[in-house]
Amino acid sequence: MRFLAVALFCLFSFSALRAQQSIRAAFYNVENLFDLEDDPITLDEDFTPAGKQQWTEERYQKKLGQLARVLDAMGGPAFVGLAEVENRKVLEALAEEALLRESKYEVAHFDSPDLRGIDVGLLYHKKAFKVLEQDAIRISFPPEDGEPYTSRDILYVKGKLKASGELLHIFVNHWPSRRGGVEASEPRRLLVAGALKARVNQIFAADSLANILIMGDFNDEPANKSVREVLGALPLGAQAEARALYNCFAEYQGKKLGSYNYRGNWNMLDQIIVSGALAGKKQELRVNAPAIFSPEWLLYKDERFGPTPNRTYGGPNYYGGFSDHLPVFVDLIVK
């Protein structure tokens, strides 16, 4: 009888483990993934073979291979939001790299009005996710000194998780940079945060328990006004409530950890934010294990600033590294 009870317990435990599935979602600012062609309507000529960066076929292929190595080492995430990609062509080329080919990534992408021609995009496993809707959320900025200001669109993708049948709303972001100073550039990020919040509120109005996954390079940290106040992203771990957002990486700020290193100071610029439906610890679909992916081979030991992301370029100097940012990821646990 005792043996039967133990056997039944083990069978139940094994069945419970098999009933759970982990789906990884990652974000990575890949630092200037350009093709070799000069697009006449964007300022991409530096990243051509004859340009200032001397962007050759050899360097392009090396970059693709290195980025594929990173995604493969992260376990081939089901969702990968990417920033600083020039177009659909480079996304498709990345998906076709040998290390990623078996994942059969599909691409979601729109061309944005960014002056340099860099966009955001999403790679996703077709076997894990069925896309139902895609959209580019364009931001209208007021002119600066009489000149128009442009930035990246926010990519919105709505689809169904094949493991559970639940809907998932994904937003991929790359907010305006801090060029010109954090305070001087802040109004641009506040504007983008407000536009994103408005779209999130539309989703909540239709379904207060919507599964929302927001990822991106926000060029602000979790405690900055754009993320904490305008978007309203609370630290993950707070009591999860409907119609609320929770920042999976708020805990990293102030702990000398981050995704971007500026002169020895780690900044948590790359983040993943989820809705209350995903933040609940007992939900059928919930977020788990937020992490910065930082193996030693992704880092360079700077003599002055210590370990820092091993970047591809520093100004016009070619270093041949991966990116000036580290990727971040979370796991979605599906019961």
Tens of pLDDT, residue by residue over 139-170, are 999 988 778 899 999 999 999 999 999 999 99
Convert the pLDDT of each residue in 185-201 to its tens digit.
999 999 999 999 999 99
Convert the pLDDT of each residue in 281-305 to its tens digit.
777 789 998 999 999 999 999 888 8
CATH of the domain at 293: 3.60.10.10
Q: Identify whether 16 is part of a domain.
A: no
Convert the pLDDT of each residue in 107-133 to its tens digit.
999 999 999 999 999 999 999 999 999
The pLDDT of residue 13 is: 36
Q: Identify whether 6 is part of a domain.
A: no
| DSSP-derived secondary structure letter, 334 | E
CA distance 256 to 259: 10
Alpha helices in 96-232 (DSSP H): 182-206, 225
Q: Which two tokens stand for residue 179?
A: 């060029």
| DSSP track, 84-120 | EE--HHHHHHHHTSTTTGGG-EEEEE-----TT--EE
Identify the burial level of 191 via C-beta atoms within 10 angstroms of its C-beta, where 0-12 means exposed, 13-18 middle and 19 or more buried. Answer: buried
Count of domains in the chain?
Answer: 1
Asked if residue 262 lies in contact with residue 256, where contact means CB atoms within 8 angstroms, the answer is: no
Neighbours of 216 (CB within 10 A): 26
Q: Identify whether 307 is part of a domain.
A: yes
Is 80 exceeded by the pLDDT of residue 16?
no
Q: Identify whether 12 is part of a domain.
A: no
**Residue type at 294?**
S
CA-wise closest residue to 309 among 36, 66, 75, 56? 66
pTM (2 d.p.):
0.93
> Measured in whole angstroms, how far is the alpha carbon of residue 210 from the centre of its chain?
20
CA-wise closest residue to 312 among 27, 42, 43, 61? 61
Is 80 exceeded by the pLDDT of residue 245?
yes
Q: Identify whether 196 is part of a domain.
A: yes
CA-wise closest residue to 151 among 122, 177, 125, 124? 177
Torsion of Cα atoms, 274 then 238 then 242 then 292, to 10°: 0
CA distance 268 to 217: 9
The pLDDT of residue 240 is: 83
Is 70 exceeded by the pLDDT of residue 17?
no
Q: Identify whether 44 is part of a domain.
A: yes
| 3-state DSSP assignment of residue 193 | helix
CA distance 29 to 46: 19
Convert the pLDDT of each residue in 201-227 to its tens digit.
999 999 999 999 999 999 999 999 999
| 3-state DSSP assignment of residue 297 | helix
Q: Identify whether 1 is part of a domain.
A: no
Q: Identify whether 15 is part of a domain.
A: no
Which range marks the domain in which residue 133 is found? Answer: 21-334
pLDDT, the chain, mean: 92
